[in-house]
Amino acid sequence: MASIGRTTEASNGEPRGRADVELRLPADSAFASVLRTTTAGLAARLDFPIDDIEDLRIAVGEASAMVLPEASDGSDLMCRFYMAPGELTVSVAVGVDGVVTPDFDSFAWQVLTTLASHATSEAADGTFVITLTMESGHAEIGL
């Protein structure tokens, strides 16, 4: 099996290197459940405890809730997953027209940052990206 996992962060807040899993969906809230289910499946593969999996599902749902209203017409919801032992990083992005200012005082951001181990937001080059990392509560996590 090829080595998986992230290295250092790129300038846009996403980990460098190829994502372990990429998911492209229509930028429509009807598809957010597909993203949450994929996230839960990957976290389960990393042996995250059920409480961490549910927290991650909620955090990814909140990230989607923040980026989807900003999506330009015809844009895709692009999700990248970076897996490492005991850690899952999810990047949720949409294409945008114009300038987007992330609302760090929103309920969605407060929930996301409470549940995730680390979260960042960036709007640049016609893309609005929220990246979050969840570190598992288990010390003996493997792939």
Pairing of strands 87-95, 76-84: antiparallel
Domain assignments of the chain as residue spans, ordered by start = 21-135
The pTM assigned to this predicted structure is 0.83
CATH architecture of 21-135: 2-Layer Sandwich (3.30)
Partners of 129 in beta bridges: 93, 122
In this structure, the number of other CB atoms found within 10 A of the CB of residue 81 comes to 21
Q: How many CA atoms lie less than 13 Å away from 34 in the CB half-sphere?
A: 14
Instruction: Spell out the alpha helix ranges (H) of 27-79.
Output: 32-45, 50-67
∠ CA 114-102-135, rounded to 5°: 30
- The confidence band for 11, taking pLDDT boundaries of 50, 70 and 90, is very low
What distance in Å separates the CA atoms of residue 39 and residue 67, rounded to the nearest whole number? 17
The per-residue pLDDT for 97 is 92
**How large is the greatest C-alpha to C-alpha distance in the chain, in angstroms?**
45
- The confidence band for 16, taking pLDDT boundaries of 50, 70 and 90, is low
Q: What is the dihedral of CA 27, 65, 17, 15, to 10 degrees?
A: 160
- The confidence band for 93, taking pLDDT boundaries of 50, 70 and 90, is very high
